[in-house]
Homo-oligomer: A and B are copies of this chain.
Amino acid sequence: MKAKIVITPKKAVLDPQGKTVQNALEHMGYSGVTGVHVGKYLEIDLAPGTDPAAARVALDEAAHRFLSNPVIEDYRLEITD
């Protein structure tokens, strides 16, 4: 079982890394890009037999407490088999 956490900067927060990638894409000739957001991706392997509901609660807390910065970042948690 796996958990996937995607952490992205909030829309209202400046994203200089995304802006840089957007500029680079334009300079390299890739047109039609109107915005880029750069975030973090965490893939967590869980021991077989872990209760998905309990894992969701624990990882949601972990993501909120120390994997993301809730002031400037949003996160999305997904548990898959």
Contact = CB atoms under 8 A, between A and B. Distances in A.
Given A42-B38, A43-B39, A32 B8 contact: no
Interface residues of A, number: 33
Assembly of this chain: how many copies?
Answer: 2
A45 B50 contact: no
Interface in A21-39: 21, 24-25, 28, 30, 32-39
Interface string A1-29: 00000111000000000100100110010
A59 interface: yes
Given A34-B47, A36-B45, A40-B41, 20 more contacts: A7-B41, A21-B42, A21-B67, A25-B62, A28-B62, A30-B59, A32-B46, A32-B47, A32-B50, A33-B44, A33-B45, A33-B47, A35-B45, A36-B44, A37-B42, A38-B40, A38-B42, A39-B41, A39-B43, A40-B40
